[in-house]
Amino acid sequence: MKIILLRTKSAYRLLLMALVWGLSIATTFAQTYPIKGEVQDTEGEPLIGASVVVKNAAIGALTDELGRFSLNMPAQTGTLVITYFGYKPLEIAATANQEIRVVMEIAPTEIEEQVIVGYGTQRKSDLTGAISSVKAKDIARIPSPSVGTVLQGKLSGVQVIPSSGEPGAQAVIRIRGVGTLNDASPLFVVDGMLLNDISFLNTNDIASIEALKDASATAIYGSRGANGVIIITTKKGVSGKPAFSFNAYYGMQQVTRQIALTNGSEYAMLANESATNTGIKQPFPNPDTFGIGTNWQDQIFRNAPIQNYQLSASGGSDKMTYLISGDYINQSGIIKTSEYQRVSLRINNEYKMNKFITVGHNLSIVYNDGNNAPGVLGNAYRADPTVVPIDSSGKYGNTTNNAPIGNPVAQFDYNANNPRYNYRTVGNLYLDFKFLKNFNFHTSYGLDYSNGVQKTFVPVYFVSSIQQNQVSRLDVGFDRSRNWLWENTLSYNLEKGKSRLNLLGGITSQNYYGESIGGGRINYPSTDPTFYYLNAGQIEGQTNYNSASWWSMASYLFRANYTFDNRFLFTVSGRADGSSKFGKNNRYGYFPSVAAGWNVSNEKFMSGIKAISRLKIRGSWGIIGNEKIGGNQQYALVSPNLSAVFGANEVLQNGSSTIAPGNPNLQWESTSQSNAGFEIGLFNNRLQGEVDWYRRVTNDILTTVPIPGYVGSASDPTVNAASVLNTGVDFKVTWQDARPFNYHVSILGSTVRNEVLSLGQGKEEILAGGLGVGGLLGTRTVVGSPIGSYYGYKVAGIYQNQEDLANFPKRGNEVPGDLRFEDINGDGVITALDRTDLGSPTPNLIFGANFGLEIKGFDLEVDFNGQRGNYIANAKKMARFGTPNYEVSYLNRWTGEGTSNSEPRITDGGGNYDFSTRFLEKGDFLRLRNVSLGYTLPSNWTDVLNMGSLRIFVTGTNLVTWTQYSGYTPEILGGVLDGGIDFGIYPIARVYNIGVNANF
């Protein structure tokens, strides 16, 4: 009998200990070498289901109820790899016929997981704030060019809305609902750089993403924290020999669905019926002759490839670490002519000058170019299906006979020449100076520099009098911006006895400047792209512009963290922000927060409760701000170019005036947020849960508010308009285990209840959300209801006959077959006063579910996400300027008594098109967001190839969406006062990828 004691000591004072029992027994078979043993924890308790595998051989076993195992090794001696979830994995040399005893230590990462917080890192166990975190491995399985979209369904309290399927488009992220009437996007902090646009990032470079949700976490970002903060940390090298990784995928994208529209004959029939109902001549003498006609959606969509290649090298010594990474992505859009490609280079190095000073940089250089599709989506939805795209003589079909809707196929030829390219550098250089044992001074200078060009060329063409261009024209615009951020922080760390204190103070300043210049000329000799330069056009009639904007911020920040005995946690923080966007009187804002936490599981009385491995209760309160408004809102600007023609020679005389108001009294929007939550880990942290309740009140909300037409203003002013309450719960529950194999299941979600508490300026309601041809307002923001609730008529049915018209309240012009609205105020007639709240565009539950497993080299990951409780206004259906194509729902129209009680007789305007529940659809959905299946080659294979690891995978993204919504996607982005209105967005794509991850 032999006892082997292994002991190592790391810099983090961690002990790794293993005991191996060995017992020599006689071999019974010549070819096999049996070994058995048991696995225990440090307290002698057996570990059930631990995995014991012979290294470099596909032989292994699991421990039984007594923690015992037995297996046959392929050779006399070998190495056993023992893993158990939540414990430090062990490798033990073993000789056949022994009996060994293994003692496993709880894995140190579970004890001291570090979480990135604003201006620093913190032990997860010390956190008092609500922070959702996701690591590289959790997002690497969804190949996507957009960082935002990979977060969908991964972080509780974070809603990700793909703004469109346009290649290169970024997703819109909302944390804990909409707390503002203004831009509700969170602040992005990439390696310390404060940004609004993260399109330069590639997913493979990301080490971790944290979403800061409550005031304790975000108040350190003061005026920019109100919508939450997303901190993104890119990868760094680690000391050791160079590690290379290569990641690639190739995929095919396709539109997830088409909108069901009427075909040629159906359209012609409906158009005729509409003409008859309106009392005009029928446009189509023989509707049946058109047959299926043209499916314009087929004409604009395509299967589009996407490919991505990334190569990185990292490593370092105790003097320096390095990471360089190059990435190339090429994505075609699912709408023809939309293209995007991006080349990026990243260099993240860190140099230790000496014991005290560390210098480093994160540097990213990105080039991208692309071409946008012309506005064909709306036209494909509306274009006359009886018209051929191109007729036999090669001419484009004229789709403008019954509605001013251009031929989408012609648009690809004439309106798709809009190349753009952009260079962007985002990076920072930093220095850390540790001194007097407890102090660290950190200074970082970050720069975001961007330089772009876009061109639009329109040739001379004629499709119809509505779709034509008589003069070729090229417009060219150059724009350039730079945004620097200088941050200086001083931190002090003290550990004394049971106390741990961390103090942080800092001064930061930020400055943005952007300028654009451009011009246009007409009459080009050629349509070839080699002529897309202004010099090729005619000088006479040339136009130009040059404009610029700038803003700056100066901030002072402070935070104190105090932890006592790993049990009691306190955080106090504050920030003062000065912004150039506000007038002198309201320039500075102050944003404090306090928070406390209690690690209940570290209490003595908990030590007896084995099942609970971790339990923390925490609460916070703070004030955070929002200053996301344009730079010049405080000023009444003079609008130029209001010139008038006078004189015998028709000379343009310069005109300008102050036609848009300013608001010098603008002030900070502030949000006070309370948060209470707990984190729990059960059964050795196999079951983990995190629940946060929050209550956010946003005051002095900055927004543009519609003002009466009689004011005569050219635009709506920005005002501090209202107070809004958001309250809800974020939760995440995860079960993960290594038995019988590694797997995990997570369910996460957040609820949001949104209520307007008050409106500024003595207003009782704010109507917004222009819908339909007339721009009728379809949302109402009123105290006591969710922001931007739909506002219109409730359909009660259809007037079936004259009797109905006589018996039910009506407006006056109705005839049988028209919609019958509910008489909400009961006055016996239908008027505008009978409009009422119809529902909210904001979902009240957003959820995600992830499932993953690893078995014998295979890994499978399945993600779902969804939402419920919201409605979508199908505005594209409502806007009928003329007689464009119909959705198939029109085929169920009323054609006589009893034929329908929901779909009215067919018309192309009039009272049936006033905003009502007719145009409102449920936005609930559940989406199979991602399925990925990978296979990691056995290491003895990859060893032969001299590789660290090689994984091949296939994925499918946006595979199935279960929803009742009739449009392309139920995820509709919009403004805050006018959200959820579907005018026809670029649909998201279903993507199939095949790819490889290789490490050397």
Partner 1 sequence: MKFQSIFNALNWKVTLAVLATFLGGCSASFLDKPPLGLETSASFFKTEEQAFQATNAVYNILREWSVSVFSYIGITDIVSDDSDKGSTPTDANFLLEVDDLTFDAGNVSFSTVWDGYYQGINRANLVIENVPLIDMNVANRNRLVAEAKFLRAYFYFNLVRWFGDIPLVDRPLQSDEYYSKQRSSANEIYAFIEQDLKDAAAVLPVQYGSADIGRATKGAAQGMLAKMYMTRGRWSEAALYADSVIKSGKYALYPNYAKLFTREGENSSESLFEIQTAAYTTEGGGSQYNEVQGVRGEPNLGWGFNRPSDNLVSSYEAGDPRRDATILYVGETLPDGSGVVLDNPQIFNERYNQKAWVPQVVGISNGNGQGNIRVLRYAEILLIYAEAQNELGQPQLALDAVNLVRKRARGNIPNLLRDLTVTDQTLLRERIWRERRSELALEQGRWFDLIRQGRAASVMQALGKNFVVGKHELFPIPQNEVDIAVITQNPGY
Helix (H) or strand (E) holding 277: helix 264-278
| Choice between 28 and 813, CB closer to partner 1 | 813
What is the rounded distance in angstroms from the CA atom of residue 61 to the CA atom of residue 75? Answer: 16
Please report how close the Cβ of residue 465 comes to partner 1 at its closest, in angstroms. 5
763 binds partner 1 (CB under 8 A): yes
| Choice between 9 and 355, CB closer to partner 1 | 355
**Could you tell me which residues come within 8 angstroms of residue 612 by beta carbon, excluding any fewer than 6 positions away?**
601, 606, 680, 681, 682
Residues touching partner 1, count (CB under 8 A):
121
Q: Residue 213 in contact with residue 157, Cβ under 8 Å?
A: yes
Q: Residue 631 in contact with residue 550, Cβ under 8 Å?
A: yes
- Map the footprint of partner 1 across residues 203-262, applying CB under 8 A: none
Please report how close the Cβ of residue 134 comes to partner 1 at its closest, in angstroms. 35
| Choice between 127 and 875, CB closer to partner 1 | 875
275 binds partner 1 (CB under 8 A): yes
- Map the footprint of partner 1 across residues 913-942, applying CB under 8 A: 914
- Per DSSP bridges, beta strands 742-751 and 765-771 are unpaired
Q: From the list 74, 389, 706, 948, which residue makes contact with partner 1 (rule: CB under 8 A)? A: 706
- Map the footprint of partner 1 across residues 708-747, applying CB under 8 A: 708-714, 717, 719
Using CB atoms within 10 A of its CB, is residue 124 exposed (0-12), middle (13-18) or buried (19+)? middle
Q: Residue 303 in contact with residue 379, Cβ under 8 Å?
A: no
- Map the footprint of partner 1 across residues 540-599, applying CB under 8 A: 540-543, 546-554, 578-581, 587
320 binds partner 1 (CB under 8 A): no
Instruction: Choose among 469, 467, 449: nearest CA to 459.
Output: 469
Please report how close the Cβ of residue 909 comes to partner 1 at its closest, in angstroms. 4
Please report how close the Cβ of residue 645 comes to partner 1 at its closest, in angstroms. 4
Q: From the list 167, 168, 225, 661, which residue makes contact with partner 1 (rule: CB under 8 A)? A: 661
What is the rounded distance in angstroms from the CA atom of residue 244 to the CA atom of residue 948? Answer: 9
Token reading at 865? 């996400």
- Map the footprint of partner 1 across residues 328-387, applying CB under 8 A: 354-357
494 binds partner 1 (CB under 8 A): no
One-letter amino acid for residue 370 of the chain: G
- Map the footprint of partner 1 across residues 816-845, applying CB under 8 A: 831-832
303 binds partner 1 (CB under 8 A): no
- Map the footprint of partner 1 across residues 610-639, applying CB under 8 A: 631-632, 635-639
- Map the footprint of partner 1 across residues 107-126, applying CB under 8 A: none
Token reading at 177? 């609902």
| Choice between 34 and 583, CB closer to partner 1 | 583
960 binds partner 1 (CB under 8 A): no
| Choice between 719 and 931, CB closer to partner 1 | 719
Phi, psi angle pair for 69, to nearest 5°: -145, 160
- Map the footprint of partner 1 across residues 783-822, applying CB under 8 A: 811-813
Please report how close the Cβ of residue 591 comes to partner 1 at its closest, in angstroms. 17
26 binds partner 1 (CB under 8 A): no
- At residue 189, the 3 state secondary structure works out as strand
| Options 208-216, 307-315, 762-770, 842-850: segment touching partner 1 (CB under 8 A) | 762-770
Could you give the string, one character per residue 871-910, with x where binding to partner 1 holds by CB under 8 A and - elsewhere? ---------xxxx------------------------xxx
CB atoms within 10 A of CB 734: 17
Looking at residue 265, the DSSP 8-state letter turns out to be H
270 binds partner 1 (CB under 8 A): no
- Map the footprint of partner 1 across residues 381-420, applying CB under 8 A: 400-404
Please report how close the Cβ of residue 830 comes to partner 1 at its closest, in angstroms. 11
Using CB atoms within 10 A of its CB, is residue 209 exposed (0-12), middle (13-18) or buried (19+)? buried
Per-residue CA distances from 674 to 1, 178, 219, 735, 747 (Å): 61, 16, 12, 28, 24
Please report how close the Cβ of residue 907 comes to partner 1 at its closest, in angstroms. 8
Q: From the list 40, 274, 314, 502, which residue makes contact with partner 1 (rule: CB under 8 A)? A: 274
517 binds partner 1 (CB under 8 A): no
**Could you tell me which residues come within 8 angstroms of residue 528 by beta carbon, excluding any fewer than 6 positions away?**
none
648 binds partner 1 (CB under 8 A): yes
Please report how close the Cβ of residue 808 comes to partner 1 at its closest, in angstroms. 18
283 binds partner 1 (CB under 8 A): yes
Per-residue CA distances from 497 to 514, 602, 607, 872 (Å): 52, 16, 21, 58
| DSSP per-residue string spanning 748-794 | EEEE-EEEEEEESTT-SEEEEEEETTTTEEEEEEETTS-TTEEEEBP
Please report how close the Cβ of residue 78 comes to partner 1 at its closest, in angstroms. 49
| Options 258-266, 458-466, 565-573, 748-756: segment touching partner 1 (CB under 8 A) | 458-466
Q: Residue 176 in contact with residue 198, Cβ under 8 Å?
A: no
522 binds partner 1 (CB under 8 A): yes
Tokens 């929050």, located at residue: 694
